[in-house]
Amino acid sequence: MELYKDNQLKIYNSLSKSKELFKPVTEGRVGMYVCGPTVYSNVHLGNVRTFMSFDMVFRYLLHLGYKVRYVRNITDAGHLENDADEGEDRISKRARLEEIEPMEVVQRYTVDFHETVAEYNFLPPSIEPTATGHIVEQIEMIHEIMAKGFAYEVNGSVYFDVLKYNESSHYGILSGRKMEDAIHNSRALDGQSDKKNPQDFALWKKADERHIMRWPSPWSDGFPGWHLECSVMSTKYLGEQFDIHGGGMDLKFPHHECEIAQSHTCSGKQPVNYWMHANMLLLNGQKMAKSTGNFVLPKEIITGDNSVLSKAFAPSVVRFFNMQAQYRSILDFASDALEASEKGYNKLMEAVNSLDNIEANKTSTFDVASWRQQCYAAMNDDFNTPILIAHLFEAVKVINQIKENKASLNAEDLESFKATIHAFVFDVLGLTNETKQNGSDKIDGVVELLIKLRKEARDNKDWALSDQIRDELIALGIQLKDGREGTTFSIN
């Protein structure tokens, strides 16, 4: 279904710093590029939050009926320490320290990344290109930039001339930085740098004797600059001008700013119509980051083998926790917040599990069409997942009222109600029903047996046994609810 024709999606564009009506380059099709991981270590939860946000965006675009080409790269070369043009390549450094080949490092952490996103129920991207798989195209783009006079070669390295580019274009268009301020705040070059100006950035770096990862080029045996790969791969697979480019807030400058300069130089066009940036995840009140050691791994959350949380949590609980904040909001990760999310998630899944047992009535006491429209309105407002979740909990309330014979839905409304809940809970938010896994059917059977025994005790006026069954179930986190149609239960 082409639902996008009936929905006016608005996206906050980091370029214009405002929400804009989404109009793809080609009707019915969306090209989206997201900066992927640098595979030199395990991906941490802060990274996963960014990728999870764009997985949600991808899912909603698919739900609306768009044909989406989603490109998420793997950086397996050229990303130097401190995101600068000096220092050692992160992958080469890990390979040297562990005394293994760089591609062993790449393989190990690429596999880890794929296992992690699979555990958290990510949809795979349409294309997942690597930097090392596009060295030829990167060399070609450098030639093109040099031919247009915006890059220069010194001692085997090639640099983008930011000051020259800024004479005719705006370097800082995305981040809002002014070149005058950048010049004023820059340190003078120490005489050992090959750059003309401190603001210039590397397109190609000559490899020194220690550098393991190197490729032949017209300028030297070396490696491409970190920023170049994304310009090359986004252009190759999505064209000179495409719809959405996403990444973490920390990539806005300099990475995305440099991408714009490179691509704009080659095509003469603004390469991306909508720039989207996901905000950071905090731990102990500080940004989660490998460089500071302030992070937790996604797999450690599932196993409970960490010093941050009180217990293990299911992947969908973590996903639900993330979706309770809008992707542009800072989110603080803490054990009590996850426990609260777990309770909310269980309540939502309990209601979803009840849907199959709900029967249609002749009349409806709930305006399903209006509620459904509100769900779409939330997502159309820059993917506002917390508002969507609030509307889903309105549905939970209705489900509970129907179970207590306090509300009803006719056949048409009930079908729409069920379809909408399943679409947003599973297809869009990407949750899985963990309550139906890990032997929960057997647990349900045991609880139903205890409910039956409790009913027999009540029929026999054995109130002590009845209360004992109820109280011991409560102690195990299982709440009984007596109603006209019998006794139901929920697991907290």
pLDDT at 440 over 60: no
| 226 half-sphere exposure, CB direction, 13 A CA radius | 25
71: exposed, middle or buried (Cβ count in 10 Å: 0-12, 13-18, 19+):
buried
Which pLDDT belongs to residue 190?
54
pLDDT of residue 82: 67
Percent pLDDT > 70 in the chain is 94
Element (H, E) at 151: strand 151-154
Question: Are 201 and 160 spatial neighbours (Cβ–Cβ below 8 Å)?
Answer: yes
Q: How confident is the model at residue 205 (pLDDT cuts 50, 70, 90)?
A: very high
Global pTM reads 0.88
Total residues belonging to the chain: 492
Least confident piece of the model among 78-87, 150-159, 231-240, 450-459:
78-87
d(CA 438, CA 406): 33
Ramachandran assignment for 65, one of left (phi > 0), alpha (psi -120 to 50 degrees), beta (any other): left
Phi-psi region of 207 (alpha: psi -120 to 50; beta: other; left: phi over 0): beta
Taking 60 as the threshold, does the pLDDT of residue 374 lie above it? yes
Is 438 a residue whose pLDDT tops 60?
A: no
Report whether pLDDT(442) > 80. no
Fold of 13-281: Rossmann fold (3.40.50)
Q: Per residue in 336-354, pLDDT tens?
A: 999 999 999 999 999 999 9
CA distance 1 to 190: 61
Confidence of residue 484 (pLDDT cuts 50, 70, 90): low
What band does 492 get if pLDDT is binned at 50, 70 and 90?
low
pLDDT given at position 487: 83
More confident residue, 326 or 477: 326
Residue 88 or 374, more confident: 374
Q: Where are the domains of the chain?
A: 13-281, 309-435, 439-491
Give the confidence band of 471 by pLDDT, cuts at 50, 70, 90: confident
What pLDDT sits at residue 24?
Answer: 98
Instruction: Determine the pLDDT at residue 287.
Output: 86
How would residue 71 be classed by pLDDT, with cut points 50, 70 and 90?
Answer: very high
CA dist., res. 68 & res. 55, Å (int): 12
Residue 99 predicted with pLDDT over 80: yes
Query: Mean pLDDT, the chain, as a whole number?
Result: 92
Compute the distance between CA of residue 130 and CA of residue 71 in angstroms, rounded to an integer: 11
Amino acid 486: pLDDT: 75
More confident residue, 483 or 352: 352
**Is residue 458 very low, low, confident or very high in pLDDT (cuts 50, 70, 90)?**
confident
Q: DSSP assignment, residue 386?
A: H
309-435 maps to which CATH number?
1.10.730
Would you state the pLDDT for residue 474? 82
pLDDT in tens, 377-420: 999 999 999 999 999 999 999 999 999 999 999 999 999 999 99
Range of lowest pLDDT (116-120, 210-214, 258-262) = 210-214
The string of pLDDT tens digits covering residues 127-138 is 999 999 999 999
Tell me the pLDDT band of 193, cut-offs 50, 70 and 90.
confident
Mean pLDDT across 445-467: 83
DSSP string, 156-194: TEEEE-HHHHHHHS-TTTTT---HHHHHHHSPPP-SS--
- The pLDDT tens digits for 14-30 are 999 999 999 999 999 99
The residue-averaged pLDDT of 38-47 equals: 94
| Pairing mode of beta strands 222-224, 201-206 | antiparallel
Predicted confidence band of residue 433 (pLDDT cuts 50, 70, 90): very high
